[in-house]
Amino acid sequence: MAATICTKKFLLNSGFYMPAVGLGTWQGQVGSTAATEMRDTIVYALKQGYRHIDTAAVYGVEEIVGDAIRMSGVPRSEIFLVTKLHSTHHHKVEQAFKASLARLGLDYIDLYLMHWPQSLTEDGKHTDTPTPAETWLAMEALKKKYPDQVRSLGVSNFSQKTMDELLKVATIIPASNQIEVHPMLPQHELIKYLQEKGINVTCYSPLGQYNSPILKHPSILALAEKHGVAAGQVILAWEVAKDLAVIPKSTNLKRIVENITYPTLDTEDIRVLDQFYKGPGLHRRLCQINGGTPTGHDIVMGWTYEQLGWEPYTIE
Ligand SMILES: NC(=O)c1ccc[n+]([C@@H]2O[C@H](COP(=O)([O-])OP(=O)(O)OC[C@H]3O[C@@H](n4cnc5c(N)ncnc54)[C@H](OP(=O)(O)O)[C@@H]3O)[C@@H](O)[C@H]2O)c1
């Protein structure tokens, strides 16, 4: 069957629906894009059927995202908008949330995420306080004070270790955890743990980020040829088939359409993609800030992999 536009949605534990496919808006440090180009591509994506946009205070594009939503003509009520609390603002959650709303020029946010478990001082230095649990309780207080402005709460970059700590104090279970997932980092165990708790998983860097080696690998190219699609479509179809949301970033008009148009994979295709990371040298993070370099590093935003509860990987 030909590839079709993905309209799948997930019911979050907060009672709201999240479209499976969103558009990422972080430009990264490599291959970055002018702000106006980003705005125009968000408008284009919304016109092509995207109904989920992922942004963050730290990406510096919230104003552009708000402008694009208004310019698109798509009703706000049809769009699922995610933004994130930056680590430098854990001590002032309400202020940071209101600043995001003002930059976006919108009345509410569909999903507000703690971007990272760890706190940083306002000038970007490591600090032990607030703890992730304390920040979560401040987010819960925000939700209780402004239930109409913040519809769902979630986290990002949480491992089983940091999620377990958070769940000891939480009275609201996070609706979603946004983590790095792609065939070189399938996160099978963490995803199983989260899905068993009813926590949605959203895959960031779902294609493996800029210049992804996955997209050039012969076994992925063979799957793409089998289905008559581009390599990226096979990868995203695999993630969505596993009930994961995806937020690929593209400012290329052709790839924006490809990234929401998927073939139907069979069980053998899924098995190949599930096992892909077991190939020599293929189990590693690709997002630059997470150690996605050939040599790797294990300190991310002031925390070690051990503090984050992230599994180390070996480059064979
Ligand atoms: N929570 C977090 O800590 C966190 C961290 C990282 C990212 N994110 C979010 O996740 C989003 C996506 O992640 P990402 O931007 O790191 O990586 P990604 O979406 O996996 O990859 C983006 C890169 O792949 C290219 N690309 C896009 N579609 C393609 C296709 N079909 N075929 C070939 N190349 C393609 C893009 O270039 P073109 O634009 O030229 O197509 C861009 O260079 C971000 O924008 C951000 O919203 C969140």
* Tens-digit pLDDT profile for residues 151-186: 999 999 999 999 999 999 999 999 999 999 999 999
Mean pLDDT across 132-146:
98
Quote the percentage of the chain above a pLDDT of 70.
95
Which residue numbers are catalytic? Answer: 59
What average pLDDT does the structure give for the chain? 94
In contact, 150 and 107? CB cutoff 8 Å: no
Ligand 1, closest atom to CA 178? 1
pLDDT tens digits for range 286-306: 998 887 544 556 789 889 899
CB within 8 Å of 112: residues ≥ 6 apart: 82, 83, 84, 85, 97, 100, 139, 142, 150, 152, 153, 154
Ligand 1 touching residue 203 (CB < 6 A): no
Predicted local distance difference test score (pLDDT) of residue 296:
56
Where along the chain do its domains lie? 16-210+242-260
Q: How far apart are CA 111 and CA 14, in angstroms?
A: 10
Task: Quote the pLDDT of residue 29.
Answer: 47
- Reported as a single tens digit per residue, the pLDDT across 50-94 is 999 999 999 999 999 999 999 999 999 999 999 999 999 999 999
| pLDDT of amino acid 114 | 98
Provide the pLDDT for residue 313: 67
CA of 279 relative to ligand 1 center, distance in Å: 23
Stretch 187-197: mean pLDDT: 98
Query: Would the pTM of this model clear 0.85, i.e. be above it?
Result: yes
Phi, psi angle pair for 125, to nearest 5°: -95, 155
Question: What's the CATH fold of domain 16-210+242-260?
Answer: TIM Barrel (3.20.20)
End-to-end CA distance of the chain: 38
Calculate how far, in angstroms, residue 246's C-alpha sits from the geometric centre of ligand 1.
10
Note the pLDDT of residue 37: 86
Of 274 and 28, the one with more pLDDT: 274
Ligand 1 pocket member 206 (CB < 6 A): yes
Compute the distance from residue 250 Cα to the ligand 1 centre, in Å: 6
* Ligand 1 neighbourhood includes 232 CB (under 6 angstroms): yes
For ligand 1, atom 19, which residue shows the shortest CA distance? Answer: 248
Say if ligand 1 is within 6 A of residue 230 CB: yes
